[in-house]
Amino acid sequence: MKIGVFVKQVPDTETKIRTKADGSGIEIDGVKFIVNPYDEFAIEEALKTKEKAGAAEVVILSLGPTRVVEALRSGLAMGADRAIHIDDSGIVLDSFVTAKILAKTAETEKFDLIFCGKQAIDDDAAQVPQMVAELLNIPHVMVIEKFEMNAEKNGVVVHRRIGGGAKEVYDVKLPAIFGCEKGLNTPRYASLPGIMKARSKPVTTLKALELMGDSKPRTGNRNYRLPPERPAGKMLQGTPEEVAKELVRLLREEAKVI
């Protein structure tokens, strides 16, 4: 069995986002990058699935500049077998073009199963996995918090979170792609031997330009800006009884939200 994992490198969650003065993008000078937190659940689930299946190979893929190799190395240190870096230099990406490139690579690799995060915490678009599934003509299930192979190993049962604490249980034929959610597992830490070993594991580099064919972005982003500052709020003063009473009054009469 061959398991693919899509990994994105994103700014650390602590990052205070700054936009470029002309609104053309985000300032990335001095930004610390991490593996997209949801992708860590994806890597972990791939490793767990490999352990259960016995013979399997876990291949992690990342599209981006040279720095994304760091993200791949941390996946290798967790236990993935090899990595593919798809160099994005010279191209304009949107979800569609990204999906095209990843699907093309996945097609060559012939994965039986693909895991990814339910969304990347930078653009929060949550589009790429479903688009890759459509391009590969395979099923997808997003926002999974439980994953189990069936006995014949040609299919899986997954639990997908929907609103209000409810979930859907799906039976899915492989190959398929799954978007992982918190709660699915607890990602392991890379051990020291794991980190040492990762250094000698193979990382192949491909060029996105050669994989994208004639695909062009379907959407364009502009006018990057920070949200408007909230006006200074009101601090309520008085005894607990007084402030509770005043807050209820303000919420009803001034803010009119209740």
Ligand X SMILES: Cc1cc2nc3c(=O)[nH]c(=O)nc-3n(C[C@H](O)[C@H](O)[C@H](O)COP(=O)(O)OP(=O)(O)OC[C@H]3O[C@@H](n4cnc5c(N)ncnc54)[C@H](O)[C@@H]3O)c2cc1C
Give min distance, CB of 189 to another protein, in A: 16
- If one asks whether residue 43 binds another protein (CB under 8 A), the answer comes out as no
192 binds, among ligand X, another protein, none (CB under 5 to 8 A by kind): none
Integer Rg of the chain from CA: 22
One of 57, 109, 130, 149 touching another protein (CB under 8 A): 130
User: Could you give the angle at the alpha carbon of 103 between the alpha carbons of 97 and 105, nearest 5°?
Assistant: 110
Say which entry of ligand X, another protein, none residue 30 contacts (CB below 5 to 8 A, set by partner kind).
Answer: none
13 binds ligand X (CB under 6 A): yes
Cβ neighbors of 198 (< 8 A, separation 6 or more) are 73, 74, 76, 77, 190
78, 203 Cβ separation under 8 angstroms: no
Find the binder of ligand X among 37, 139, 155, 194 (CB under 6 A).
Answer: 37
Structure tokens at 172: 């899915």
Q: Residue 199, interface with another protein (CB under 8 A)?
A: no
Half-sphere exposure of 162 (CA within 13 A, CB side): 7
> Which one among 166, 192, 193, 214 touches another protein, defined by CB under 8 A?
166
Say whether residue 30 binds another protein (CB under 8 A): no
Asked if 153 interacts with another protein (CB under 8 A), we say: no
CA max distance for the chain: 69
Residue 28 makes contact with another protein by CB under 8 A: no
